[in-house]
Amino acid sequence: MFSPEPVEAVCLSPALVVENDTAIQERLRYILSTLGCDEPQIAWAGDGEMAMQLLERPSFGVVLVDIGLPGDSGIEFIEWLQSHHPQVPAVAISASRSEDAIFSALRAGAVAYLLKERDDLELSIGLRSIEQGGAPIDPAIARRVLAWHAGHAADSSSIPDAALTPQERKMLELVVQGLGHRGIAEALAMPRLAVECRIKGIYRKLALGSRSEAAHMASGPMLLR
């Protein structure tokens, strides 16, 4: 019988938002306000350096990070946050659904990956899930993960711990079909808490697998240009 791990809730306030697009800032300000995180409880940073300075003050409940900041500074900031303030969860907010962007964010230490293209209500639901200890996964991301897993399933050099179980694959297939965590729990006759924990496990496996790939590429022979 499956015994889910304890689900650790996340406090959305005070929140730090690392985003340099004023239109997205306004969207996130509104979305956070609907979740009880009003303007005085939100700090804003346009880049990673400014965010680092703000984090010298008392810890934030959550940090929302645009990974599309100039260069790779969004990813670099998440790595820095994981190293210096591992107790503060980072949520990646991105316009990209590419495998490289997703895995880079998770490898850096992001606890979730939300797409900017979703409407305000969908982003609000995703953040509420994170607040309650969940790990929201977008259908577009689930589709990418399934494709990634299919490409690695036959690779004997892949790390076994990074392989998805049949139940985890089924969960992702249900996400692609548009089911939320409650719907998945009903379809698989599982407690919703168990679904949340399994999806968190999927994120951990993706981070593990992408770290392994990055290490393998770094240790491999250099290609002549």
User: What are 175-224's pLDDT values in tens digits?
Assistant: 899 888 889 999 999 998 888 888 888 888 877 765 555 444 444 543 33
Please give the Cα distance from 71 to 74 (Å, whole number): 8
Highest-scoring range by mean pLDDT, 16-30, 35-49, 127-141, 175-189: 16-30
What is the pLDDT of the chain when averaged over all its residues? 82
In the chain the domains, ranked by start, together with CATH numbers, are 7-136 (3.40.50.2300), 137-219 (1.10.10)
Asked whether the beta carbons of 92 and 111 are under 8 A apart, the reply is no
Query: Over 50: is that where the pLDDT of 3 sits?
Result: no
Query: pLDDT category, 154, cuts 50, 70, 90?
Result: low
**Model confidence over 66-109: pLDDT tens digits?**
998 887 689 999 999 999 999 898 999 999 888 888 888 988 88
Highest-scoring range by mean pLDDT, 106-110, 145-149, 157-161, 215-219: 106-110
Cβ neighbour number for residue 49 with a 10 Å cutoff: 11
The reported pTM is 0.78
Query: pLDDT category, 27, cuts 50, 70, 90?
Result: very high
Pinpoint the alpha helices (H) of the chain: 22-34, 48-54, 73-84, 99-108, 120-131, 139-152, 166-176, 181-187, 192-219
